[in-house]
Amino acid sequence: MTLSPTYMCFVGIDIAAKTFAAAWVLPGQAPSPAHTFDQTDAGFAAVQAQLPPAIPAAQILMVMEATGSYWIRLAVTLHQAGYAVAVLNPKHVHNFAKSLPRRSKTDALDAQLLARFAAERQPPCWTPPPAVYHELRQRLMARDALMEMRQQARNQQHALSQWPVVVAAVTIRFDAVMTALDEQLHTLDHEIGTIVETGAWAASAAIVLSIPGIGIQCTAWLLVSTLNFTLCATPEALVAYAGLSPLQYESGSSVRGQAHVGHGGNARLRTVLYLASLSASRYNPPMQVFYTRLRERGKAVKVARCAVARKLLHLAWALVMKGQRFDPAYPLAQRDRATGELSAA
């Protein structure tokens, strides 16, 4: 059994674009007044100098929200200095704030709120991801942006073509833009594929790619979003993280809502898994059987595909944990083994 660390100081940090506010609380005491620092190396050093000097860095829990990208430099700096750093989902903090009798909202008050959240909840520590995470994630984000730009150019060109007079020079420029974007996307796809197949996560990637229906892009997003399947301890937790768990909506005898997949969780991971389910339900034999059975039971197309997406995530997690590649005959062998055991009994 792993014991939780003992912290002697809890620091809440509210992040802004150019500054950040920090407040701290000692066990059994009220939060300190918040102090504002610049988002610079000097500001990072100043906040460390303000903390109680008698408390070791490892016994100080620093808590901040993952808002935008302004938190990253500070979090890495504090982690490298030996502090325990926790990076929170802003929704968790928002719900915590709603439970308190407070009305005003300022950076200083938010810093004190985060310090109180840290002292009461003691969230798990954050660790900077490896270099391969950044190599993949930034390329995937750039690919999404280029795909959106290409679609916008296509839409604008299509709208232009509806006019009775179309200027050829303008159409040529749109064609040039889309050609350039296609070249950039081709280059990005090649780089992503190379990193997936030969990078630090290549062993896990090979296992995931062995599952019919999951391609390079889905594999890359899976590895990045789950930190190579280390983010969650169980497949159920991973499904909930992706926002693919059906949510119950019942209360007493009057509310009997149908379970549904909500809008929470990692939306990008949920999207790529849903898209993978379209291919898996056609070309992955076990998933095809599973999808067909759900449809025959009257499940809607979207419900059945979300179920396939959940099953794909379960399957990927299990195979990576076991270090085994996908075996399409495994479900049949498992069924035959169970039948043999029943006959022997």
Query: What 3 state SS string does 25-78 have?
Result: ECCCCCCCCCEEEECCHHHHHHHHHHCCCCCCHHHEEEEEECCCCCCHHHHHHH
CA pair distance 297, 291, nearest whole angstrom: 10
Per-residue pLDDT tens for 301-315?
999 999 999 999 999
The whole-number average pLDDT for the span 263-271 is 87
- Closest C-alpha among 207, 236, 220 to residue 273: 220
CA pair distance 330, 319, nearest whole angstrom: 12
pLDDT at 343: 37
DSSP state letters, 211-243: STT--HHHHHHHHHHHTTTTS-SSHHHHHHHHT
Q: Is the pLDDT of residue 335 over 60?
A: no
Residue carrying structure tokens 């059906």: 246
Q: Is the pLDDT of residue 8 over 50?
A: yes
Per-residue pLDDT tens for 190-202?
999 999 999 999 9
Contact indicator for 12, 113 with CB cutoff of 8 Å: yes
* φ and ψ of 214, to 5 deg: -105, 120
Query: Please, what is the end-to-end C-alpha distance for the chain in angstroms?
Result: 39
- Beta strands 60-65 and 9-15 are parallel
CA pair distance 126, 266, nearest whole angstrom: 17
CA pair distance 51, 53, nearest whole angstrom: 6
Token pair recorded at residue 276? 């993978």
Q: Is the pLDDT of residue 218 over 70?
A: yes
Contact indicator for 75, 87 with CB cutoff of 8 Å: yes
DSSP-based three-state secondary structure for 17: coil
- Whether the predicted model's global pTM rises above the 0.85 cut: no
DSSP 326: -
Amino acid found at 218: C
DSSP-based three-state secondary structure for 292: helix
DSSP 201: T
**What Å distances lie between residue 238 and 221, 229, 303, 311, CA to CA?**
14, 8, 19, 11
Q: Is the pLDDT of residue 336 over 50?
A: no
The whole-number average pLDDT for the span 141-170 is 94
Q: Which residue has the higher pLDDT, 3 or 89?
A: 89
DSSP-based three-state secondary structure for 328: coil
The whole-number average pLDDT for the span 183-194 is 97
For residue 345, name the pLDDT band (cuts at 50, 70, 90).
very low
**What Å distances lie between residue 176 and 169, 172, 223, CA to CA?**
11, 6, 34
**What Å distances lie between residue 142 and 139, 147, 192, 281, CA to CA?**
5, 9, 11, 29
Which H or E run includes 172?
helix 168-198
Q: Which residue has the higher pLDDT, 180 or 260?
A: 180
